[in-house]
Amino acid sequence: MALKKPFDTVTIKEASETEITIEGYGENQIPTEPSQNTAGVVAREMMPDKNFKIHLQKGIPPGSGLGSSAASAAATAYALNKIYSLNHTQTELIEIAAKGEEVAAGETHSDNVGPAITGGFCIVGQ
């Protein structure tokens, strides 16, 4: 189920190298190496030939069970899809964001990224 609060804010800009900065909850524990960060993995998956500066303003505490890593992955997927008119469906965005979740949770899963992308209540099955 998606909640209106708490929430993260993700800012994405093209850059010469991919860089991730974090403020707020978990700023000293969330990886900033793009290959180890859900937002970085999603950006590379969607736009492998571009680099981005991704700033995460974390309002969702990591490890709280509220989908902190999913929020970053979903916001990045949604933003890049809109900015670059990639025309991915919601299902495709969920699948892409779930790949980002793999670095945080050790496996791809859609239970948090699904609601983060679609809003509301979601039932996820295999």
Residue 1 lies in a domain: no
Is the per-residue pLDDT at 11 higher than 90?
A: yes
pLDDT value of position 126: 62
Please give the pLDDT value at position 5. Answer: 72
CATH number at residue 53: 3.30.230.10
Round to whole Å and give the CA distance between 62 and 83: 27
Residue 37 is assigned to a structural domain of this protein: yes
Tell me: the pLDDT tens digits for 50-105? Answer: 999 999 999 998 988 778 999 999 999 999 999 999 999 999 999 999 999 999 88
Strand order in the sheet with 19-24: 9-14, 52-58, 19-24
Q: Look up the domain containing 70 and give its range.
A: 9-118
71 inside domain: yes
State the pLDDT confidence band at 2, using cuts at 50, 70 and 90: low
The total of structural domains in the chain comes to 1
| pLDDT value of position 3 | 60
Collapsed DSSP state (helix, strand, coil) of residue 39: helix
Specify the amino acid at residue 124: V
Residues 97-121 pLDDT 10s: 999 999 988 888 788 888 889 887 7
2: in domain: no
- The one-letter amino acid code at 31 reads P
Q: What is the mean pLDDT of residues 14-32?
A: 96
Q: What is the pLDDT of residue 116?
A: 87
User: What is the pLDDT, as a whole number, of residue 75?
Assistant: 96
> Mean per-residue pLDDT for 12-38?
96
Please indicate, yes or no, if residue 124 is contained in any of the structural domains.
Answer: no
Tell me which H or E stretch contains 56. Answer: strand 52-58
